[in-house]
Amino acid sequence: MKNKSQILEGSRAIALTVKNIEPAVISAYPITPQTHIVEDLAKFKADGQAKYEYVRSESEFAAASIVLGASAKGVRAYSATSSQGLLLMTEVLYNISGMRLPVVMTLANRAVSAPINIWNDHSDAMAVRDAGWIMFFAENNQEAVWQHLLAFKIAEKMALPAMVNVDGFILTHCYEPVYVPDKKTIKKFLPTYKPTKGTFLDSKNPFTMGAFMTPEHYQETRKKLSADFVTTISEIKKEYQLLQKTMGIKKEKNTTDNGLLEYTGSKNSKKIIIAMGSVIGTIKSALAREKNIGILKIKSYRPFPEKEIYDIIKNAREITVVEKAISPGNHSPLFIDVKAIASDKQKVTSFVSGLGGRDITEEEIRKIMK
């Protein structure tokens, strides 16, 4: 894999991966810091390097509606957005999940205005965390490539939409060595999408999607959606093992990595720090010499792998949660989820940092751990 790596901008690596996955329809509206992804995808189409239909839209709401329609017709569909663009899509995001459409989207995470800010935090993703989308968070651009492959596989297998979160600028505009598998290699893991009969719109086999539903039946649909998210946890673990084998992904020493989370450290660590996204790289660097502190990276935020997290943190006395989002009037989102798993005897502390793109330094991480 190392021999095939290229020095690529994160956005370029994602665009190349999506091109090789071969969706049938792509629609997106440019917004910083997502723009380079869709610029590259549009250029691939214009240069004759891709066969997908690239549909221009007048807004993010329209782009989401276009990929909804394409997926409802039974083809592989993709979009990308950031921040205010995601919020403009919100109504359609709920429709996509409620109609059980396996759309995949890249979210280049960016702070939400006002005041206007184009830099990274996770406030956009947290605003739609209950919209019914699988949500992956990438630490680096290589992981973003793997998560896009995994997102399409799980989305199409479970009839659920999936979102891959990559930190704006920190990853989207960062140049790193990245291996992007070719179409033939991807096909070994992600076959051509062939939806089953009765799950997409077909005039020969009439089918209703997004119907009007009364109180007698609506609750059952939400219960089914929630239950399928729980099932998705085991599917992610299974498909990630296949991805590792197919792509030759080697596991780091003293590390647990199952596609849902990654844990580095001793099973008996009394102190554990938990985070998502690119800040994990800073945490690993800052605590490289701290052998008694475990580092837990959440890769799948939705579904939230409660049991898998509990199995790692159950022996810890102190748990520190570092995140780039707040919930005004309440504790921060990831902290709430972790606190719900921890026992009353464990001390769980919340640290919110990096809002609006403020740099989280190694020194700050060391101060947090003190």
Give 125-178 pLDDT, tens digit per residue. Answer: 999 999 999 999 999 999 999 999 999 999 999 999 999 999 999 999 999 999
- Look up the domain containing 351 and give its range: 256-369
Domain-located, residue 250: no
Same domain, 113 and 203: yes
pLDDT above 90 (res 252)? no
Domain-located, residue 170: yes
| β-bridge mates for residue 350, sequence order | 321
Domain boundary (226, 245, 264) is at 245
For position 254, what pLDDT does the model report?
82
Residue 64's alpha-carbon distances to 41, 55, 56, 142, 201, in angstroms, are 16, 11, 11, 26, 18
The CATH number of whichever domain residue 281 belongs to comes to 3.40.50.920
- Tokens 């190349």 locate to 16
Domain-located, residue 251: no
The answer to whether 145 touches 310, Cβ cutoff 8 Å, is no
How many angstroms separate the CA atoms of 88 and 69, rounded?
17
Same domain, 192 and 261: no
For position 99, what pLDDT does the model report?
97
For position 110, what pLDDT does the model report?
98
Domain-located, residue 227: yes
List of E strands, the chain: 6-9, 25-26, 53-54, 77-81, 104-109, 134-137, 162-167, 175-178, 255-257, 261-264, 271-275, 293-298, 300-302, 318-323, 347-352
Dihedral over alpha carbons 243, 245, 251, 255 (to 10 degrees): 70
Same domain, 184 and 56: yes
For position 207, what pLDDT does the model report?
87
How many angstroms separate the CA atoms of 118 and 187, rounded?
36
Give the residue-averaged pLDDT of 251-258. Answer: 88
Same domain, 212 and 297: no
Same domain, 264 and 362: yes
How many angstroms separate the CA atoms of 47 and 26, rounded?
16
Same domain, 73 and 218: yes
Q: How confident is the model at residue 251 (pLDDT cuts 50, 70, 90)?
A: confident
**Is this prediction's pTM over 0.95?**
yes
Same domain, 284 and 167: no
Number of structural domains found in the chain: 2
Give the residue-averaged pLDDT of 291-301. Answer: 97
How many angstroms separate the CA atoms of 221 and 123, rounded?
28
- Residue 14's identity, in one-letter code, is I
pLDDT above 80 (res 256)? yes
> At 275, is the secondary structure helix, strand, or coil?
strand
Q: Per-residue pLDDT tens for 52-106? A: 999 999 999 999 999 999 999 999 999 999 999 999 999 999 999 999 999 999 9
For position 287, what pLDDT does the model report?
97
Same domain, 149 and 298: no
Same domain, 81 and 216: yes
Q: Per-residue pLDDT tens for 184-242? A: 999 999 999 999 988 999 999 998 999 999 999 999 999 999 999 999 999 999 999 99
The answer to whether 102 touches 162, Cβ cutoff 8 Å, is yes
pLDDT above 90 (res 1)? no
pLDDT above 70 (res 250)? yes
How many angstroms separate the CA atoms of 112 and 319, rounded?
28
Neighbours of 151 (CB within 10 A): 27
Domain-located, residue 196: yes
Q: What is the mean pLDDT of the chain?
A: 97
Domain boundary (198, 215, 245) is at 245
Same domain, 187 and 311: no
Residue 224's alpha-carbon distances to 17, 74, 195, 220, 292, in angstroms, are 32, 21, 19, 6, 42
